[in-house]
Amino acid sequence: MSKAKQLRDRMAERGLVHIMAAHSPLSAILAEEAGFDGLWASGFELSALYGLADMSLITMTQHLDMLRVIAGQSSLPIVADIDTGYGNALNVIHAIREYEKAGTAAVVIEDKTFPKVTSLAADGRQELLRIEEFQGKIEAAVSVRNDPDFLVIARTEALIAGLGEEEALKRGMAYAEAGADMILIHSKKKDPAEIESFSRAWKGPVPLTIVPNAYPELDATRIRALGNIKMTIYGNYGIRAATTAMQDAFRRIIADGGVQNVHKDIVPVEEIFRLQKMDQVKADEKRFLR
Continuous segment of H or E residues that includes residue 244: helix 237-256
* 54: annotated active-site residue: yes
Q: What 3-state class would DSSP assign to 183? A: strand
Burial class of 130 by CB neighbour count within 10 A (0 to 12, 13 to 18, 19+): exposed
Q: For residue 70, give the nearest of 94, 42, 50 by alpha carbon.
A: 42
Chain centre distance of CA 91: 20
Chain centre distance of CA 208: 14
Residue of 9, 37, 54, 83 marked catalytic? 54
Is the Cβ–Cβ distance between 142 and 152 less than 8 Å? yes
Is the Cβ–Cβ distance between 172 and 127 less than 8 Å? no
| Catalytic sites, residue numbers | 54
